[in-house]
Structure 1
Amino acid sequence: MKIKLLLSLLVAGALSVSAQQGYKDGVEYFKAGQYENAKTLLERNLNDASTDKAVAYYYLGAIAVHDKDLTAAKSDFEKGLAADPNNAFNKVGLGELALMGGDAKAASNYFDEARKINKKNAKVMVAIARAYFNTDPVKYAKEIDKNLEQAYKANKQEPDIFVLRGDMKAAEKEWGDAAGNYENAILYSKGLPEAYVKYANAYFNVNPEYAIAKLQELLKESPNSALGQRELAEKYYQNDQWAKAASAYGDYINNPNHFTEDEVRYSVLLYYGQHYDESIAIANKLLASDPNNFQLQRIAFLDKAAMKDYTAAKQLAQRFFALNDPKNKYTSNDYSTYAQVLEELGEDSLAVFEYEKALEVNPEKGDLYKALSSAYSGMKNYDKALEVFKNFIDRGDYVTNDLVILANRYQNVAATSENGSEKKQNAINNAIATIDQVIERVPDHYVPVRNKARMFLVKNDNQPSKEMADTYMQVVSMLDKDPENKTKNKDVYNEAYSQIASYYISERDVPMAKEYYEKVYELDPTNQALRDYIDKMK
């Protein structure tokens, strides 16, 4: 897959302080259901002066609830209340813990305390409804409906109401209704990241372009949302819009609240966009602190191979393949790229082993058979080169040019077999039969006819024959249809005339031989040696 990237992807440093969202990015990730990322950002920004610790601890506690670490959750909610005793949401959190422990009465008391702190606050009521929903949506269906109704009465346009309704529909896999509720949340609160992200996720498999458009809309409203930036980049990536994905990642990793794995992804995208210098610069930076990172080792090796620094690529490949971790899954491309590197370094015998590994991983990839055959041919193992290429042809997924190569593989076997042997005759007959298939497919092309003439030479133990001469005459006749061929295909004329002349020499027909040597001389009138030879012919 070859894609184009924008050239200015590594522009700009970190965002200015005013553009940072700090812990709020963690809140957005939580609300979008990305709990691990949320925890990372909340903890990263916890001691920042701008962080509302009561809010941060509430969401850390909610993440702990999701992870079933109820002890940590209780501690976080209590820390949140210590930071701000009037934070109603930490009361809701403790209430949810009580519900999960089977103490509905204690939970109700906590919820009542939360309501007293923020009377008629729709967000608090929705949080209580969500606590019931998280605990048991069937058992507490009435409580969920009751609190949502109260929230609606308090504020009909509270976006959280519609987000929870959307989540409830999504849990039932009613994606259309879920998306409709998320769209209402967007309508009542432009720039609410979780609503846009959940909406995009609900629609992506049905209409990816529409989902992407929603995320673009989010970033117009909330341009500094790390969640929005990352989700847009990911959706581009998932939709195979790699150039746009790279551009979006390039913007996103300048946000302080990005993740290391995003830089890894960016390095990969730069590689596929053929920006190898930028890609390997990021990979090397990250490898300095994580030297055994499998994906980074891979991309560094692939970058060097693409940059044609084959010596360095070989060294990096050896390091990459030495990572002994069962979790690491090497691809056919890993092995085949290493094989190509070895071929470039003249190590065809080693390349063969790598191509064979590639085929083990992906036996359905036809190009690997061709590459392995070529490697065998490079090490002059023509029998094996033919065997592998025949296996490829037998699969049935081939084009006319593949038949040309197959004919050449047969010819190589014949040319290196003992004269007069059955092996040689079988091979050259198959070569001629195969090239005849090509001629039938492209009857107006001179190249397969020229190849056939060469095969007749091999068939006759490198001695000229009438069938060889007649075939070369066909080549000349085809080339003569275009006068420009005397210039464009001068070498082919030279070969044909020379071989025809040699045939007449073998037949002791000097006049005809002389006639064709004169044609050779016309192509190169500076060839004095040929002129002298012709003049001496009798």
Structure 2
Amino acid sequence: MNKFRILGVALLAGMTVSYAQNIDQAKKEIDAEKYQDAKVTLKSIVKSDPGQGKAFFLLGNVYLYQNVADSAQMTYKSGLSAKNDAHFNYIGLGQLDLDNGKAAAAKANFDAAIKEMKRKDFEEYVYVARAYMNSTKPDYKQALSTLELAKEKNGQEPQVFLAFGDAYYGDKNQNEAYSNYRNAFQADNSLIRAKVQLGVLLKGAKAYTEAVKAYSDVMATNPNYGPLHRELAETYYLWALNVPGRQDQYLKEALGHYEKYMSLTDYSLDSRMRHADFLILAKDYKALEIEANKMKEIDQVNPRIYRYLGYSAYQNNNVDLAIKSLTDYIANPSNKVISLDHMYLGLAQIKKGTSADGASVDPVLFEKGLASIRKAVEIEKSVTNELGEVGKNLYEQKLYKEAAAILEIATSNNESNGFLYDNYYLGNAIYFDNAQPGVVKDTVALRKADIAYGNVITASPDTQDVYLSRARTNSLLGDDQAMIKYYQQYIDLVTKKGPEELAKPAVKAKLIECYNSMAAGYANFDKAKAKEFFAKTLALDPTNVYATQSLNLLK
């Protein structure tokens, strides 16, 4: 009997070691964002030993990382029946409560987990803090408060330092975040994420050169750590946005590192979707279309695939597929619709309604497109950044009314990247639409043009031609006083720039326009002034027919 007892104890000890090794393996897979591998490992544990509650908890967390809340909830609830460590699953259920705005229920679940802690336990506090951080509505102050309790239990634990770093980073306390990430890595130099986060802090400060160097230091010893390449991809992407001259080079670097990240993690549907989101940011729509079709082969019913198909189809000039994909996606009430869904649908509708030669637009499709774009802006005003180029393209096709409609939406956001240029093109589009022969003047639109030019002048008072445009617009409005005022401001600006500017042929022609137009305006109420300005024209161009004839009439 003693022999069997010894064998039984040895077998139990072996199983315990094996379980611990498997749990550690799963944790490493989660940290490395190998979620599919982690799911395989954890499902194997819960199948072979359903008494291990922490395995259920970690598996539920993986489902949450992959945004599959229903599966997470079922897994946590199953874990509550486990013989060992069942209480960890209350933490998972607590995060789901936080995500659903049920703060009191979340605290009750967290308290139920903490109640089961032993005297030296601290891990539960770390996971509760992470639940506050990972919630869809993060509460970093509460996370920091919870981590102070973990610190009381084991203040030198690397995972406590790491969690403090993440909480301080989320709370925008960069100095404390840096200190804790550094301490975490010093306490355990196998904790690669802590060292990667030091680069993330530099990325957040737009110190891209230093961030890449920090990542390179990590890569020298751990080139196959997937999250490192994801951070490099995001850093190069942001660097590309901030250094236009190297945009292509840095975007290529970004996409290369994201592909490496994918190869080091997994090619699951969830990972492909993260990749697709990055391709949208990087504007690589050819690659997005390829990825979307691969996802469709894996799962023909996942609705987000139709978003990616819609975006890429629009950019790759397949407008019918874009309209169908996005219309179907938006029509499903269970789908989480974002601003870009409406934006791309609207742009596709406008593109479909524009003739092949760009000379005309179907008014029905154009109005549908405008309505979709307005919905996009209602959801997220920053999408106006995408509209300036669309409006400019219509403007260059001489579709002035349609260009103005798009640019009016673009200029509704005074924080947009192209606010100045979008206002300038808006004013021009309205002016040229109303300056065509035989067109009945739209005074409401012309006043919008006047405001648009005023916005340009406020933002960039040295943009000299905008004063000409504003003067011409007020001429169409029949406001002689305003017309004269803005022509004079143009004259003052170019005169201030000196003789070299005044000697330019283009400027000389514009000065003649100013003098003749101002003289014609003065002729309605001050003939002496009118004569004075016609004389200025003749000083520049003695053979000017209009000035000569007008002076003869005024005598």
> TM-score, normalization: structure 2?
0.50
What 5-or-longer segments of structure 1 have no aligned partner? 1-21, 79-89, 112-124, 153-160, 457-470, 479-499, 501-538
Aligned to 1:325: 332
Q: Return the match for 1:445 from 506, 512, 535.
A: 506
Q: Does 1:278 align with 2:287?
A: yes
1:224-373 matches, within 5 Å, as 224-234=224-234, 236-237=236-237, 243=251, 244-270=253-279, 273=282, 275-291=284-300, 296-307=305-316, 309=317, 312-323=318-329, 324-326=331-333, 327-331=336-340, 333-334=343-344, 335-345=346-356, 347-349=361-363, 350-362=365-377, 365=384
Offset of residue 27 of structure 1: 1.5
The amino acid of 2:332's aligned partner reads: D
The amino acid of 2:296's aligned partner reads: L
Secondary structure of the structure 2 residue equivalent to 1:257: coil
Aligned to 1:503: none
Which structure has the larger Rg?
1
1:102-501 matches, within 5 Å, as 108=118, 128-131=121-124, 145=152, 148=154, 161-168=157-164, 171=167, 176-197=175-196, 199=198, 205-206=204-205, 209=208, 213-234=213-234, 236-237=236-237, 243=251, 244-270=253-279, 273=282, 275-291=284-300, 296-307=305-316, 309=317, 312-323=318-329, 324-326=331-333, 327-331=336-340, 333-334=343-344, 335-345=346-356, 347-349=361-363, 350-362=365-377, 365=384, 397=420, 403-412=427-436, 414-416=437-439, 429-430=475-476, 444-445=505-506
Q: Is the alpha carbon distance of 1:408 and 1:227 closer, same or farther for their aligned partners in structure 2, counting shifts above 3 Å?
A: closer
The amino acid of 1:430's aligned partner reads: L
- Determine the C-alpha separation between the residues in 1 that align with 2:150 and 2:399: 79
Aligned to 2:133: none
- Determine the C-alpha separation between the residues in 2 that align with 1:390 and 1:131: 54
Aligned to 2:39: 43
CA shift digits 1:173-205 (9 cap, x unpaired): 565344323313323544423323555566654
Aligned to 2:79: 73
8 A contact 2:292–2:308 mirrored in 1: yes
Aligned to 1:495: none
Offset of residue 39 of structure 1: 5.9
CA shift digits 1:410-439 (9 cap, x unpaired): 222x42459xxxx9xx99951898999688
Aligned residues: 387
The amino acid of 1:415's aligned partner reads: G
CA shift digits 1:214-259 (9 cap, x unpaired): 4443333222223333344345556766714322111111225354
- Determine the C-alpha separation between the residues in 2 that align with 1:184 and 1:416: 72
Q: Is the alpha carbon distance of 1:355 and 1:100 closer, same or farther for their aligned partners in structure 2, counting shifts above 3 Å?
A: closer
Q: Is the alpha carbon distance of 1:261 and 1:428 closer, same or farther for their aligned partners in structure 2, counting shifts above 3 Å?
A: same
- Determine the C-alpha separation between the residues in 1 that align with 2:260 and 2:405: 51
Q: Is the alpha carbon distance of 1:404 and 1:285 closer, same or farther for their aligned partners in structure 2, counting shifts above 3 Å?
A: same
Offset of residue 28 of structure 1: 3.2
Offset of residue 404 of structure 1: 4.6
- Determine the C-alpha separation between the residues in 2 that align with 1:294 and 1:451: 62
- Determine the C-alpha separation between the residues in 1 that align with 2:385 and 2:197: 41
Q: Is the alpha carbon distance of 1:212 and 1:191 closer, same or farther for their aligned partners in structure 2, counting shifts above 3 Å?
A: farther
CA shift digits 1:319-378 (9 cap, x unpaired): 312321342124364123541343144543222431343245438749859967996998
- Determine the C-alpha separation between the residues in 2 that align with 1:48 and 1:58: 13
- Determine the C-alpha separation between the residues in 2 that align with 1:181 and 1:259: 33
Offset of residue 266 of structure 1: 3.2
Q: Is the alpha carbon distance of 1:387 and 1:39 closer, same or farther for their aligned partners in structure 2, counting shifts above 3 Å?
A: closer
Q: Is the alpha carbon distance of 1:448 and 1:406 closer, same or farther for their aligned partners in structure 2, counting shifts above 3 Å?
A: farther
- Determine the C-alpha separation between the residues in 1 that align with 2:255 and 2:439: 51
Q: Is the alpha carbon distance of 1:202 and 1:164 closer, same or farther for their aligned partners in structure 2, counting shifts above 3 Å?
A: farther
Q: Is the alpha carbon distance of 1:262 and 1:330 closer, same or farther for their aligned partners in structure 2, counting shifts above 3 Å?
A: same
The amino acid of 1:408's aligned partner reads: F
- Determine the C-alpha separation between the residues in 1 that align with 2:236 and 2:111: 39
Q: Is the alpha carbon distance of 1:220 and 1:356 closer, same or farther for their aligned partners in structure 2, counting shifts above 3 Å?
A: same
Q: Is the alpha carbon distance of 1:373 and 1:356 closer, same or farther for their aligned partners in structure 2, counting shifts above 3 Å?
A: farther
The amino acid of 1:222's aligned partner reads: N
Secondary structure of the structure 1 residue equivalent to 2:223: coil
CA shift digits 1:481-528 (9 cap, x unpaired): xxxxxxxxxxxxxxxxxxx9xxxxxxxxxxxxxxxxxxxxxxxxxxxx
8 A contact 1:280–1:299 mirrored in 2: yes
Offset of residue 164 of structure 1: 1.4
- Determine the C-alpha separation between the residues in 2 that align with 1:319 and 1:232: 32
Secondary structure of the structure 1 residue equivalent to 2:55: helix
Secondary structure of the structure 1 residue equivalent to 2:163: helix
Secondary structure of the structure 2 residue equivalent to 1:328: coil
CA shift digits 1:456-501 (9 cap, x unpaired): 9xxxxxxxxxxxxxx9xx9xx99xxxxxxxxxxxxxxxxxxxxx9x
- Determine the C-alpha separation between the residues in 2 that align with 1:427 and 1:99: 66
The amino acid of 1:129's aligned partner reads: F
> TM-score, normalization: structure 1?
0.51
8 A contact 2:126–2:160 mirrored in 1: no
Secondary structure of the structure 1 residue equivalent to 2:323: helix
Q: Is the alpha carbon distance of 1:304 and 1:41 closer, same or farther for their aligned partners in structure 2, counting shifts above 3 Å?
A: same
Q: Is the alpha carbon distance of 1:42 and 1:138 closer, same or farther for their aligned partners in structure 2, counting shifts above 3 Å?
A: same
Secondary structure of the structure 1 residue equivalent to 2:122: helix
Aligned to 1:8: none
Secondary structure of the structure 2 residue equivalent to 1:415: coil
Higher relative helix content: 2
The amino acid of 2:377's aligned partner reads: N
The amino acid of 1:348's aligned partner reads: D
Aligned to 2:68: none
Aligned to 2:14: none
Offset of residue 313 of structure 1: 2.1
- Determine the C-alpha separation between the residues in 2 that align with 1:207 and 1:393: 28
8 A contact 1:372–1:385 mirrored in 2: yes
What 5-or-longer segments of structure 2 have no aligned partner? 1-21, 62-71, 93-108, 130-143, 242-249, 447-471, 495-501, 518-533, 546-555
- Determine the C-alpha separation between the residues in 2 that align with 1:356 and 1:177: 47
8 A contact 1:373–1:385 mirrored in 2: yes
Q: Does 1:28 align with 2:28?
A: yes
Q: Is the alpha carbon distance of 1:245 and 1:198 closer, same or farther for their aligned partners in structure 2, counting shifts above 3 Å?
A: same
Give the percent of matched residue pairs that are identical in Structure 1 and Structure 2: 12
Offset of residue 279 of structure 1: 2.7
Q: What CA RMSD, in Å, does the superposition of the two structures yield over aligned residues? A: 6.1
- Determine the C-alpha separation between the residues in 1 that align with 2:424 and 2:146: 68
The amino acid of 1:192's aligned partner reads: L
Q: Point out the more displaced range, 279-288 or 176-185.
A: 176-185
- Determine the C-alpha separation between the residues in 2 that align with 1:451 and 1:225: 68
8 A contact 2:54–2:86 mirrored in 1: no
